[in-house]
Amino acid sequence: MSRFDADYYRRFYRRGGVHDRRQIDHLASAVHGMCCWWGVRPRTVLDIGAGVGRWRDWYRANHPSVRVRSVDISEYACRRWGHELRDISTWRPPRPADLVVCHSVLQYLTDRAATQAIEHLAAGTRYVMYLEAPTADDLSHVVDAEVSDVDDLHGRSATWYRKRLAPHFRQAGAGLWVRRDTVHLFDLEGAPNSR
Protein backbone atom coordinates (compact mmCIF):
# COMPACT_ATOMS: atom_id res chain seq x y z
CA MET A 1 0.00 0.00 0.00
CA SER A 2 1.28 3.44 -0.92
CA ARG A 3 2.23 5.89 1.80
CA PHE A 4 0.17 8.54 -0.02
CA ASP A 5 -3.16 6.71 -0.04
CA ALA A 6 -6.67 7.88 0.84
CA ASP A 7 -5.90 7.62 4.58
CA TYR A 8 -2.89 9.91 4.15
CA TYR A 9 -5.01 12.56 2.42
CA ARG A 10 -7.80 12.24 4.99
CA ARG A 11 -5.30 12.65 7.82
CA PHE A 12 -3.31 15.58 6.46
CA TYR A 13 -5.84 17.39 4.24
CA ARG A 14 -9.10 16.89 6.11
CA ARG A 15 -9.16 20.48 7.38
CA GLY A 16 -7.36 22.07 4.46
CA GLY A 17 -3.95 20.53 5.03
CA VAL A 18 -0.69 21.99 6.20
CA HIS A 19 -1.07 24.61 3.47
CA ASP A 20 -4.72 25.41 2.88
CA ARG A 21 -6.15 26.79 -0.36
CA ARG A 22 -5.85 30.42 0.77
CA GLN A 23 -2.16 30.00 1.63
CA ILE A 24 -1.40 28.36 -1.71
CA ASP A 25 -3.32 31.14 -3.47
CA HIS A 26 -0.99 33.69 -1.83
CA LEU A 27 2.11 31.61 -2.56
CA ALA A 28 1.21 30.91 -6.21
CA SER A 29 0.39 34.58 -6.74
CA ALA A 30 3.76 35.60 -5.29
CA VAL A 31 5.73 33.02 -7.29
CA HIS A 32 3.94 33.92 -10.52
CA GLY A 33 4.44 37.61 -9.77
CA MET A 34 8.17 37.20 -9.22
CA CYS A 35 8.49 35.30 -12.48
CA CYS A 36 6.78 38.20 -14.26
CA TRP A 37 9.00 40.70 -12.41
CA TRP A 38 12.02 38.90 -13.88
CA GLY A 39 10.50 39.00 -17.35
CA VAL A 40 9.32 35.38 -17.35
CA ARG A 41 5.60 35.14 -18.06
CA PRO A 42 4.97 31.46 -17.43
CA ARG A 43 3.13 29.79 -20.28
CA THR A 44 3.90 26.28 -19.03
CA VAL A 45 4.01 24.99 -15.44
CA LEU A 46 5.07 21.57 -14.20
CA ASP A 47 3.77 20.72 -10.72
CA ILE A 48 5.71 17.86 -9.14
CA GLY A 49 3.96 16.14 -6.24
CA ALA A 50 0.72 17.91 -7.08
CA GLY A 51 -1.30 16.26 -4.30
CA VAL A 52 -4.77 17.80 -4.14
CA GLY A 53 -3.99 20.04 -7.13
CA ARG A 54 -4.01 23.48 -5.54
CA TRP A 55 -1.34 24.99 -7.79
CA ARG A 56 -3.14 23.73 -10.90
CA ASP A 57 -6.44 25.05 -9.58
CA TRP A 58 -4.91 28.48 -8.90
CA TYR A 59 -3.58 28.68 -12.45
CA ARG A 60 -6.92 27.57 -13.90
CA ALA A 61 -8.72 30.28 -11.94
CA ASN A 62 -6.21 33.10 -12.46
CA HIS A 63 -4.27 32.33 -15.66
CA PRO A 64 -6.37 29.86 -17.65
CA SER A 65 -4.15 30.12 -20.74
CA VAL A 66 -1.16 28.69 -18.82
CA ARG A 67 -0.68 24.98 -19.53
CA VAL A 68 -0.20 23.12 -16.25
CA ARG A 69 1.09 19.56 -16.17
CA SER A 70 0.53 18.03 -12.74
CA VAL A 71 2.22 14.80 -11.67
CA ASP A 72 2.31 12.79 -8.46
CA ILE A 73 3.68 9.50 -7.18
CA SER A 74 0.39 8.64 -5.47
CA GLU A 75 -1.96 6.45 -7.46
CA TYR A 76 -4.78 7.68 -5.23
CA ALA A 77 -4.01 11.38 -5.87
CA CYS A 78 -3.71 10.77 -9.59
CA ARG A 79 -7.10 9.05 -9.75
CA ARG A 80 -8.80 11.52 -7.41
CA TRP A 81 -7.40 14.81 -8.74
CA GLY A 82 -6.44 13.92 -12.31
CA HIS A 83 -2.63 14.01 -12.30
CA GLU A 84 -0.18 11.89 -14.27
CA LEU A 85 1.44 9.09 -12.30
CA ARG A 86 5.15 9.97 -12.23
CA ASP A 87 8.09 9.58 -9.82
CA ILE A 88 10.49 12.50 -10.27
CA SER A 89 13.39 10.37 -9.06
CA THR A 90 12.99 8.06 -12.07
CA TRP A 91 11.09 10.24 -14.57
CA ARG A 92 12.86 12.94 -16.55
CA PRO A 93 10.44 15.50 -18.01
CA PRO A 94 10.68 15.33 -21.82
CA ARG A 95 10.38 19.12 -22.22
CA PRO A 96 11.22 21.94 -19.82
CA ALA A 97 8.44 24.07 -18.36
CA ASP A 98 8.81 27.80 -17.78
CA LEU A 99 8.03 27.27 -14.09
CA VAL A 100 8.47 24.08 -12.08
CA VAL A 101 6.83 23.68 -8.69
CA CYS A 102 8.24 21.05 -6.35
CA HIS A 103 6.39 21.60 -3.11
CA SER A 104 7.28 19.28 -0.24
CA VAL A 105 8.54 16.25 -2.19
CA LEU A 106 12.30 15.78 -1.80
CA GLN A 107 12.26 15.08 1.94
CA TYR A 108 10.44 11.79 1.25
CA LEU A 109 13.24 10.51 -1.00
CA THR A 110 16.47 8.75 -0.11
CA ASP A 111 19.68 10.69 -0.75
CA ARG A 112 20.27 8.85 -4.01
CA ALA A 113 16.69 9.33 -5.23
CA ALA A 114 16.68 13.01 -4.18
CA THR A 115 19.94 13.61 -6.04
CA GLN A 116 18.45 12.06 -9.17
CA ALA A 117 15.22 14.03 -8.67
CA ILE A 118 17.20 17.29 -8.56
CA GLU A 119 18.83 16.38 -11.88
CA HIS A 120 15.38 15.71 -13.35
CA LEU A 121 13.98 18.94 -11.90
CA ALA A 122 16.84 20.85 -13.52
CA ALA A 123 16.15 19.18 -16.86
CA GLY A 124 12.48 20.09 -16.51
CA THR A 125 13.03 23.77 -15.64
CA ARG A 126 13.37 26.33 -18.42
CA TYR A 127 13.54 29.44 -16.18
CA VAL A 128 12.30 29.25 -12.59
CA MET A 129 11.68 26.58 -9.97
CA TYR A 130 9.81 26.97 -6.71
CA LEU A 131 11.19 24.43 -4.25
CA GLU A 132 10.05 23.69 -0.71
CA ALA A 133 11.94 20.91 1.03
CA PRO A 134 12.24 21.07 4.81
CA THR A 135 15.78 20.59 6.06
CA ALA A 136 16.84 18.74 9.21
CA ASP A 137 16.87 22.07 11.03
CA ASP A 138 13.36 22.88 9.76
CA LEU A 139 12.08 19.50 10.93
CA SER A 140 13.50 20.18 14.40
CA HIS A 141 12.50 23.84 14.77
CA VAL A 142 9.90 24.92 12.21
CA VAL A 143 7.65 22.08 11.03
CA ASP A 144 4.59 21.47 13.21
CA ALA A 145 4.55 17.71 13.81
CA GLU A 146 0.92 17.88 14.94
CA VAL A 147 -0.34 18.72 11.45
CA SER A 148 2.54 17.56 9.23
CA ASP A 149 3.67 14.17 8.02
CA VAL A 150 7.06 13.86 9.75
CA ASP A 151 7.41 10.07 9.94
CA ASP A 152 10.47 8.63 8.20
CA LEU A 153 11.48 11.84 6.44
CA HIS A 154 15.01 12.43 5.25
CA GLY A 155 16.25 15.47 7.15
CA ARG A 156 19.20 16.83 5.21
CA SER A 157 21.15 20.03 5.66
CA ALA A 158 20.50 23.09 3.52
CA THR A 159 24.10 22.72 2.37
CA TRP A 160 23.32 19.23 1.03
CA TYR A 161 20.54 20.64 -1.16
CA ARG A 162 22.44 23.73 -2.26
CA LYS A 163 25.45 21.67 -3.35
CA ARG A 164 23.26 19.64 -5.72
CA LEU A 165 21.18 22.58 -6.94
CA ALA A 166 24.11 24.97 -7.56
CA PRO A 167 25.32 23.50 -10.87
CA HIS A 168 21.89 24.20 -12.37
CA PHE A 169 20.33 27.07 -10.43
CA ARG A 170 21.00 30.31 -8.62
CA GLN A 171 19.06 30.69 -5.39
CA ALA A 172 16.85 33.77 -5.50
CA GLY A 173 15.29 33.42 -2.04
CA ALA A 174 11.85 32.51 -0.71
CA GLY A 175 12.10 29.07 -2.31
CA LEU A 176 12.77 30.45 -5.79
CA TRP A 177 15.63 29.10 -7.89
CA VAL A 178 16.44 30.48 -11.32
CA ARG A 179 17.98 28.38 -14.04
CA ARG A 180 21.56 29.47 -14.67
CA ASP A 181 22.12 31.63 -17.74
CA THR A 182 18.43 32.36 -18.24
CA VAL A 183 17.12 34.87 -15.70
CA HIS A 184 19.45 37.70 -14.77
CA LEU A 185 19.13 38.77 -11.15
CA PHE A 186 20.60 41.83 -9.51
CA ASP A 187 23.37 40.85 -7.11
CA LEU A 188 21.22 41.47 -4.03
CA GLU A 189 18.21 39.59 -5.42
CA GLY A 190 19.91 36.22 -5.15
CA ALA A 191 22.58 34.29 -3.33
CA PRO A 192 26.18 34.96 -4.41
CA ASN A 193 26.59 33.84 -7.99
CA SER A 194 29.09 31.07 -7.49
CA ARG A 195 28.91 27.43 -8.46
Which overall architecture, per CATH, does domain 6-182 show? 3-Layer(aba) Sandwich (3.40)
**What is the rounded distance in angstroms from the CA atom of residue 19 to the CA atom of residue 25?**
10
Q: Hey, is 173 helix, strand or coil? A: strand
Name 171's bridge partners: 177
**What is the rounded distance in angstroms from the CA atom of residue 165 to the CA atom of residue 177?**
9
> What's the predicted TM-score (pTM) here?
0.90
**What is the rounded distance in angstroms from the CA atom of residue 88 to the CA atom of residue 103?**
12
Confidence (pLDDT) at 147: 46
* Domain boundary assignment for the chain: 6-182
Residues 114-148 as b/e (b if ≥16 CB within 10 A, e otherwise) read: bbbbbbbbbebbbbbbbbbbbbeeebeeebeeeeb
Q: What is the pLDDT along the chain (195 residues), one digit of tens a residue?
A: 377 767 766 766 766 556 788 999 999 999 999 999 999 999 999 999 999 999 999 999 999 999 999 999 999 999 999 999 999 999 999 999 999 999 989 999 999 999 999 999 999 999 999 999 988 777 776 655 554 455 667 789 999 999 999 999 999 999 999 999 999 999 999 888 755
